[in-house]
Amino acid sequence: MTGLDWAIIAAYFLFAAAIGLAMSRRASSSVSEYFVGGRALPWWLAGTSMVATTFAADTPLAVTEMVARHGVAGNWLWWNMVMSGILTVFFYARLWRRAGVITDVEFTELRYGGKPAALLRGFRAAYLAIPINLIIMGWVNLAMMSIISTALDVPDVLALGICFSLAAAYSVLSGLWGVVVTDFFQFGLAVAGAIILAYFAVEAVGGLSGMETGLAEVYGSSEAALSMFPATGEAWMPLITLAVYLGVNWWASWYPGAEPGGGGYIAQRIFSARTERDGVLATLWFNVAHYAIRPWPWILVALASTILYPGLDDPKQGYVLAIMDLLPPGLTGLVLAGFAAAYMSTISTQLNWGASYLVNDLYARFIRPESDQRTLVRISKASTVLLMLASLVVTYFMTSIEGAWRFLLAIGAGTGLVLILRWYWWRINAWSEISAMLASLVVSVILWFGVGLNPDDPTQWAYIMLATVAASTVVWLIVTFVTKPEDEEILRRFYLRVRPGGKGWARVAGSLGLGAEPMDGGPLNWTNWVAGITAVYASLFGIGQLLFGPTSFGVLLLSIAFACFVWIGRNLRPSRESLDPIPGLGS
C-alpha cells in the first residue's frame, strides 16, 4: 500500500459521505420516503441497487472457493436460482408494485385478514429483522475483517469500524435514496475493480492460453476446471443433488435475496420503482447483471489464484493475495475501495431493510399505530442505529452462531410453493403459510437431529430437501382445506388492488362483475419466463465461450440471448389498468 492507494480509499469514503448528506433532507419527510424512496426510483437505479446489494465483500471470495474446489461448474450452487429470479420478473414484479405496501411482510395483512394474519405479519417481521438480518450482517462483517487482516497492516476492527460506521451513517441520515444512489456508484467502482484485477490475474499466468495450461496441472485437465456443468458422478454434485437444485430448490426453498415470488430487499426495490414497468425492468436488469455479466471477472481471478497460490488451506485467501501481489500502486487502492464499496452497499441495505420491518410492521402496526410521520422517521433512524449495534455484537460471537444459520433457514425450506400460489389462488389463507413454516422447521429438525441426515453431504442434503418439501406441502394443503377461507371482503379488496387474474381467482373476479379475467400478462408470461432463463444462461455461457473457445459457439449463444431479449422487449405490454373502487370496499 502506498500513499496514492490510501488517498484513493479516503476519496471514496468522502464521496460516499457526501452522497448521504445530500440525500438526507429528502428522507426526513415520511416513512414512504425513508423506506421506499417515495416510489420514484427509475428502473436502472432500482435494478443496479439490487445488484450492488448482492455484491458483498464475501461474494467474490465465496466464488473463489467454489471454483478452487470444483472448477467453474461449482457456481451451480447459486446459478440454479435463475429460474426463481426470472419468475419474479414476469409474474410478480408488477403485482408487488401494484400492492402499494412498504414491506413484503405488510403484504400479509393485505392478502389475509384477522388475528392469524396479524400473528404472521408480526412473527415474520421480527424473524427477518433480527435473527436473519443480523446473521447476514455478521457474516458480511466477518468476511470484511478477513479481507482487511489479509490485505492491510492495520487493525481489522478499526478498519471495519470505519466502513461500517460510514455505511450506517448514510443509511440513518438519508434512508433508501441515500442507499440506492451510493449503491449506483459503489457498484460501478466494485465492478471496475473486479475487471481490473481479472486483467492482471490473467496476465500473471500467461494469458488465457497460459491459464488453460496451468489449470491442466492443477485440476488434471483444463476441461475439468472450465466445464460449465458438473461431470457425471462428481462427489460434490451427485445427479440427484443437481436434479434437486434445478428442479426443486429454486421454487421450494426460501432464501434471503432469492425468495420464490420475490421478497426481501428485492421486493423493497420493486415497491420503490416509479411505475410497474420500472419494477419489471429493474428486476430483469438485476438478474442479467447478477447471473450473466458480473461472475466472469471473479471466476477468472479464482482460476488464476488456483495456479498462483496452490495448496492454500483457505482458497478464499487467493483472491485477496492476488490484489496485494499483482496490482501496481493506485490500482491496489482502487480495488480495495471497490471491496469497501461492495461491503457498504450490502450493509446499508440490510440496515434500511431491517429497520423497515421494525418500524412499519412492528412499531407502527402493534405498538404505536397513531404515530405521525415525523415520529416514525425518528423511530426509523433509531432502529437503524440499534440494528447496527446489534450486528456488531453478533459479529463478535459469530463463531458460536455459525451453526444457527442452517437452523434458521430450515423454517423456509418448504414454504416456496405457498409464497408463489398465494398470488394466484384465492383459497390460500394465513394458516397455509403458518403451517408450511412450522412443518418445514419440524421436518428439517427431525431429519437432521432425529434421523441423523447430514446437510453438508450433497446426497443427504437432497434427501432432506425432498422430504421437507413433500411433507410441508402435504401439511399446508390439508390445513388449507380444513380451515376457513379468508373473508369475502378481504379477498375482493385484495383482488381489486392487485388484479392478478387467472383461474385461481375466477370465483372472486366473477363476484366483482369482472368475469373470468386472464392472468395479467397471459400466456406471454410463460414465454417471457422461458426466454428470460434462456437469455441469462446463453449470455453466461456465451461469455465463457468467447473467453476460452470455441468463439463461434460463444457468438451463437450470445445471438440466441439477443433474440430472447428482443422477444421479451416486444412482449412487455402495459399492465392492467386499475378499476374504480367498489363502494364499501375501498381501493
Q: What is the 3-state secondary structure (H, E, C) of 87-130?
A: HHHHHHHHHHHHHCCCCCCCHHHHHCCHHHHHHHHHHHHHHHHH
pLDDT class for 144, splitting at 50, 70, 90? confident
The letter for the amino acid at 274 is R
- Confidence check: pLDDT of 578 > 60: no
Residue at grid coordinates 488465457: 208
Residues 341-354: tens digit of each pLDDT:
888 888 888 999 99
Q: What is the pLDDT of residue 233?
A: 74
What is the share, in percent, of the chain residues with pLDDT greater than 70? 94
∠215-216-222 over CA atoms, to 5°?
Answer: 80
pLDDT class for 131, splitting at 50, 70, 90? confident
pLDDT class for 573, splitting at 50, 70, 90? low
pTM for this prediction? 0.91
pLDDT class for 405, splitting at 50, 70, 90? low
Distances (CA, A) of 300 to 96, 226, 277: 37, 10, 35
> Closest Cα to residue 340, out of 156, 195, 66?
156
Mean pLDDT, the chain, rounded, equals 88
- Reading the block at residue 342, the C-alpha cell is 461492495
* Window from 24-28, 142-146, 326-330, 333-337 with minimum mean pLDDT: 24-28
pLDDT class for 476, splitting at 50, 70, 90? very high
Q: Would you tell me the crossing angle of helices 295-308 and 524-548 to the nearest 10 degrees? A: 30
Phi then psi for 273, rounded to 5 degrees? -65, 150
Q: What is the pLDDT of residue 530?
A: 96
Q: How many Å apart are CA 15 and CA 334, to the nearest integer?
A: 14
Q: How many Å apart are CA 498 and CA 489, to the nearest integer?
A: 14
Residues 150-166: tens digit of each pLDDT:
777 777 777 778 888 88
Q: How many Å apart are CA 252 and CA 420, to the nearest integer?
A: 9
Distances (CA, A) of 146 to 9, 320, 335: 18, 9, 16
> Closest Cα to residue 332, out of 152, 64, 186, 144?
152
Q: What is the pLDDT of residue 370?
A: 92
Percentage helix, strand, coil for the chain under 3-state DSSP, each rounded to 5: 75, 0, 20
Higher-confidence residue of 19 and 267: namely 267
Q: Is 273 helix (H, G, I), strand (E, B) or coil?
A: strand
Average pLDDT over residues 19-28: 76
Is 41 within 8 Å of 272 (Cβ atoms)?
Answer: yes
Q: What is the pLDDT of residue 410?
A: 58
Number of Cβ within a 10 Å radius of residue 502: 19
Q: What is the pLDDT of residue 408?
A: 58
Would you state the torsion angle of the CA atoms of residues 338, 343, 347, 350, taken in this order, to the nearest 10 degrees?
100
pLDDT class for 401, splitting at 50, 70, 90? very low
Residue at grid coordinates 475487471: 195
Q: Tell me the Ramachandran region of residue 371: left when phi exceeds 0, alpha when psi lies from -120 to 50, beta otherwise.
A: beta
Residues 74-106: tens digit of each pLDDT:
999 889 899 999 999 999 999 999 999 999 999
Average pLDDT over residues 106-126: 95
pLDDT class for 4, splitting at 50, 70, 90? very high
Is 394 within 8 Å of 412 (Cβ atoms)?
Answer: no
Is 353 within 8 Å of 264 (Cβ atoms)?
Answer: yes
Q: How many Å apart are CA 254 and CA 262, to the nearest integer?
A: 10
DSSP letters, 425-490, are -TT--HHHHHHHHHHHHHHHHIIIIII---TTSHHHHHHHHHHHHHHHHHHHHHHHHHSPPPPHHH
Q: What is the pLDDT of residue 582?
A: 41
Q: How many Å apart are CA 250 and CA 84, to the nearest integer?
A: 5
Q: Is 41 helix (H, G, I), strand (E, B) or coil?
A: strand
Is 319 within 8 Å of 62 (Cβ atoms)?
Answer: no
pLDDT class for 580, splitting at 50, 70, 90? very low
∠506-85-123 over CA atoms, to 5°?
Answer: 75
Q: What is the pLDDT of residue 411?
A: 62
Q: What is the pLDDT of residue 157?
A: 78
Q: How many Å apart are CA 42 and CA 398, to the nearest integer?
A: 37
Residues 26-80: tens digit of each pLDDT:
766 788 888 998 899 999 999 999 999 888 878 898 899 999 999 999 999 889 8
pLDDT class for 399, splitting at 50, 70, 90? low
Higher-confidence residue of 195 and 261: namely 195
Beta bridge partners of 273: 41
Displacement of CA 47 from its chain's centroid (Å): 11
Q: What is the pLDDT of residue 260?
A: 85
Average pLDDT over residues 495-523: 89
- Confidence check: pLDDT of 18 > 70: yes
pLDDT class for 409, splitting at 50, 70, 90? low
> Closest Cα to residue 224, out of 306, 321, 310?
306
> Closest Cα to residue 146, out of 307, 343, 404?
343
